[in-house]
């Protein structure tokens, strides 16, 4: 039976993973679709949702009418002992009143806290997923640049070979071209590895068994997802701040509950005795006497918990405001940096490279000079890709800091 249950569980897990893989392959993965996948499929988010279910279960328990289950004690004789009397006693704890209301208040606050933590987990995991998503786009752009370099190196190698055969160039030029082709091929292989690694990271965040099956769709330079985010969104109302506020309420409820230990607990008792000749019922109450343990330890612990929760709340609010302010400044700087390189440096580097290629074909400059100019142009392209990635990451940090992503 245990093996059968294990087999069924493995089949169910494999089916869910397969369904997730098919869903991820159903359409190209954009940034907005990635956010929806994280909310419904990311393992960390699913785990956080189970903690909400646990808190909901604790609330159901706190709402129970009694603090414990009724107990029945019976002493029943047999034979000759039957004439001496038999006894059945029922004890029902009475859990209604102030104690129960405090327990319910604490459980509600815990449920609110777990709900806010679920939203906060979504916020953080979406940020990680988007960062991995843009890193894949960045790695693919760097790979495209490397492939362009290899394509040009192959063309230069062909031209150098023809010029060597016609006597228009020395063997040194061919060796330089072959060296450049080897370096270009090595760069392509290295960038292909980076693409695989970034895809694996993204697949791990989404809980996918493979990163190669993800069909990416997106533009590394697209900033529309972040340009609508403003620091005036009130980051002090972020999900983790709201969770800290719920923690304070839960701690306050725990303090009130600890004070209830001074109030005796009541239990209703019903004693039923009978013999062969007669029977009678004796109702009564059982009362605890809080003499030795009157909640002194619980009250001290609950008060310390409330103070700690209040300190953590203020620290969380301050951190949220500081993060939003710093993220906004950093994002504006990175946007300006990306625009500078794409509006000025990139067009100039492209024009210089085109002129250098024309000069090389016309025999006005040698291959070494062309490769130096070409190297500067390639480095500008790589810097542009890096700036776009840094800008996207700064935008993700901004949206995450103000709680705009979920």
pLDDT tens digits along 365-377: 888 888 889 889 9
- Asked if 138 contacts 197 with a C-beta cutoff of 8 angstroms, the reply is no
Supply the range of the domain harboring residue 348. 48-401
Sequence-ordered list of residues with C-beta below 8 angstroms from that of 34, at least 6 positions apart, any chain: 126, 129, 130, 133, 206
**Residue 220 is part of a domain; what is its CATH number?**
1.20.1600.10
**Is pLDDT of 311 > 70?**
yes
Give domain status of residue 31, yes or no.
Answer: no
On whether residue 13 sits in a domain, the answer given is no
- What is the reported pLDDT for 268? 78
Q: Over 80: is that where the pLDDT of 291 sits? A: no
The span from the CA of 99 to the CA of 261, in Å, is 9
pLDDT at 16 over 50: no
Between 259 and 306, the more confident residue is 306
pLDDT confidence of residue 190: 96
129-152 pLDDT, tens digit each: 999 999 999 999 999 999 999 998
- Best CA proximity match to 109, nearest among 298, 13, 248: 248
pLDDT value at 165 more than 90: no
pLDDT digits 0-9 by tens, 110-120: 999 999 999 99
Domain assignment of residue 37, yes or no: no
Mean per-residue pLDDT, 276-299: 76
Residue 77: the pLDDT is 61
Dist CA 313 CA 249 (whole Å): 11
pLDDT band of residue 73 (cuts 50, 70, 90) is: confident
pLDDT tens, 318-362?
Answer: 999 898 889 999 999 999 999 999 899 999 998 998 898 888 877
The answer as to whether 228 is a domain residue is yes
Q: Is the pLDDT at 2 greater than 50, yes or no?
A: no
Q: What percent of the chain has pLDDT over 90?
A: 37
Position 14 scores a pLDDT of 42
Q: Does 23 reside within a domain?
A: no
> Is 16 a member of any domain?
no
How far is Cα 229 from Cα 193, in angstroms, rounded to an integer?
34
The confidence score (pLDDT) of residue 154 equals 92
What is the predicted pLDDT for the residue at 83? 54
Residue with tokens 């946007």: 335
Q: Check if the beta carbon of residue 52 is closer than 8 Å to that of residue 107.
A: no
Residue 243 has pLDDT above 70, yes or no: yes
Query: Considering the chain, what is the average pLDDT of its residues?
Result: 83
How many domains is the chain built from? 1
């Amino acid at each position: 039976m245990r093996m059968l249950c294990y087999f069924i569980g493995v089949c169910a897990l494999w089916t869910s993973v397969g369904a997730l893989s098919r869903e991820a392959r159903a359409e190209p993965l954009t940034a907005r679709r990635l956010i929806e996948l994280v909310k419904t499929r990311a393992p960390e988010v699913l785990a956080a949702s189970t903690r909400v279910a646990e808190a909901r279960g604790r609330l159901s328990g706190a709402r129970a009418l009694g603090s414990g289950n009724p107990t029945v004690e019976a002493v029943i004789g047999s034979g000759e002992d039957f004439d001496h009397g038999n006894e059945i006693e029922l004890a029902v704890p009475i859990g209604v009143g102030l104690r129960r209301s405090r327990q319910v208040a604490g459980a509600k606050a815990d449920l609110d806290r777990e709900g806010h933590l679920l939203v906060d987990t979504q916020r953080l995991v979406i940020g990680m997923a988007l960062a991995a998503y843009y890193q894949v786009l960045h790695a693919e752009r760097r790979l495209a640049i490397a492939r362009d370099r290899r394509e040009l190196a192959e063309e230069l190698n062909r031209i150098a070979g023809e010029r060597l055969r016609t006597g228009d160039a020395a063997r040194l030029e061919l060796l330089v071209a072959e060296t450049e082709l080897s370096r270009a091929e090595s760069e392509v292989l290295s960038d292909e590895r980076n693409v695989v690694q970034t895809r694996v990271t993204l697949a791990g965040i989404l809980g996918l068994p493979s990163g190669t099956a993800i069909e990416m769709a997106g533009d590394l330079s697209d900033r529309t997802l972040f340009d609508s985010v403003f620091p005036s969104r009130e980051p002090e109302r972020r999900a983790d701040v709201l969770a800290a506020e719920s923690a304070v309420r839960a701690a306050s409820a725990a303090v009130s509950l600890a004070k209830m230990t001074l109030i005796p607990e009541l239990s209703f008792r019903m004693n039923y005795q009978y013999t062969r000749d007669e029977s009678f019922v004796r109702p009564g109450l059982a009362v605890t006497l809080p003499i030795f343990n009157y909640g002194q330890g619980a009250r001290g612990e609950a008060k310390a918990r409330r103070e700690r929760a209040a300190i953590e709340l203020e620290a969380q609010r301050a951190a949220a405001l500081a993060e939003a302010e710093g993220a906004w400044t950093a994002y504006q700087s990175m946007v300006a940096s990306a625009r500078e390189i794409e509006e000025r440096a990139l067009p100039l580097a492209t024009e210089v490279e085109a002129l250098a290629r024309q000069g090389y074909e016309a025999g006005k400059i040698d291959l070494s000079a062309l490769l130096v100019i070409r190297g500067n142009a390639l480095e500008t392209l790589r810097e542009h890709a890096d700036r776009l990635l840094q800008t996207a990451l700064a935008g993700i940090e901004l949206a995450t800091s103000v709680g705009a992503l979920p």
